[in-house]
Structure 1
Amino acid sequence: MKKYLKKCLGTISVLALIQGCSTAKLSNEGSNIEVITALDRKDCKNLGPVFGKGGGVFGGTWISDESLMEYASNDLRNKAALKGATHVVVQNHQVGMSTGKNGGSTSTVTQQGIAYKCPS
C-alpha cells in the first residue's frame, strides 16, 4: 500500500508541476482586447505597460513554440483587460531557452505591450 501511495503522490506532483507552468486561457474580457502594433489615435488613454508570459521552468520545454506564444498573448490580453484597456500595443517579445546535454528548447515566451483605453 505504501508503494502504491508513493507512486500516486509522485504522479500527482509531476502533473501539478506541469500544470504549474503558465498556460493562460483567454478570458472573456481578454478576448475583447484589440492587439495592434501601432496606435495613431489621439483620443486614447495610456494605461501603462503590461507583460504576458507563457511557459515556465516546469513544463515549458514540452509545449510547442506556437502554444507558448499563444499563452503569452492570452496573458497579455487578460492583463490589459484587468486594467480596463480596449487595445494593447505589442512592443516586443522575448524567448527563454532551457539547455541540456541533448541541446536546448524554448521554455518561456514573454510579450510586452502598452495598454490603452480608447473610446468607441
Structure 2
Amino acid sequence: MISRLNTYRACIFLAASSLAACASTALSPQGARVTVARSAPPPNCTEVAQLVGHGGGSLIGSNISNDVLIEYAQNDLRNKAAARGANYVQQDPPTLGQHEGTTTTATISATAYRCPTAEPTQTEAAKP
C-alpha cells in the first residue's frame, strides 16, 4: 500500500514539474548573449535560421501575466538562437494565444543571424 502511495506521489510530482517547465523558460548564459531587435541586422551578418519561441501553455499559462508569457517566449527564442550559433535575432511582434477565453501562450517568430563580433582594439585589449 505504501509503495503504491509513493508511486502516486512521484507521478504527481513529475506531472507538476513538467507542466511548470512548459510554462517557463529560463534564459541560458549563451542566450543572454544574443541581441534581440525588431530592426534588420548589420549588413555583414549571415542568416542562420527562422525560429519560433514559445511561452506558457494551455494548462498553466492562464495563471501567468501576458508580459511574463512574452518574456518566456523571448527567452526560448534567444536560447534556440544561441544553440544554432546565432548572436542577433530580428523578431516579429509577439502573438498571444488563448484557451477557453484566457490568454495562455505567447509565440514569437524571428530570423536568427550570426554577426561578426567586434575585435577589441589594442587599447581595449590592454585594459585590466
- Relative to the length of structure 1, the TM-score reads 0.82
Q: What RMSD in Å do the two structures reach over aligned CA positions? A: 2.2
Q: Which position in structure 2 is the counterpart of 1:84?
A: 85
Does the 8 Å contact 1:17/1:59 carry over to 2? no
How many residues were matched structurally?
115
Does the 8 Å contact 1:92/1:113 carry over to 2? no
Q: Which position in structure 2 is the counterpart of 1:112?
A: 109
Consecutive unaligned residues of structure 1, counting only runs of 5 or more, are: none
- The alignment-based identity, stated in percent, is 34
Does the 8 Å contact 1:21/1:57 carry over to 2? no
Q: Which position in structure 2 is the counterpart of 1:63?
A: 64
Based on CA coordinates, which of the two structures has the bigger radius of gyration? 2
SS of 1:85 mapped into structure 2: coil
SS of 1:114 mapped into structure 2: strand
Cα pair distance change 1:67/1:110, threshold 3 Å: same
Residue-by-residue CA offset, 1:36-90 (whole Å, 9 max, x unaligned):
1112521000112111000112211111211111100000000010111110001
What is the alpha-carbon distance in structure 1 between the residues aligned to residue 78 and residue 41 of structure 2?
20
Report how far residue 11 of structure 1 moved.
4.6
Q: Which position in structure 1 is the counterpart of 2:121?
A: none
SS of 1:21 mapped into structure 2: helix
- Relative to the length of structure 2, the TM-score reads 0.78
Cα pair distance change 1:64/1:87, threshold 3 Å: same
Structure 2 residue 20 is matched with structure 1 residue 16: no
If each structure's strand is expressed as a fraction of its own residues, which one has the higher value?
1
Consecutive unaligned residues of structure 2, counting only runs of 5 or more, are: 118-128
Q: Which position in structure 2 is the counterpart of 1:94?
A: 95
If each structure's helix is expressed as a fraction of its own residues, which one has the higher value?
2
- Residue 107 of structure 2 aligns with an amino acid whose one-letter code is T
Residue-by-residue CA offset, 1:93-113 (whole Å, 9 max, x unaligned):
2111111xxxx2111100010
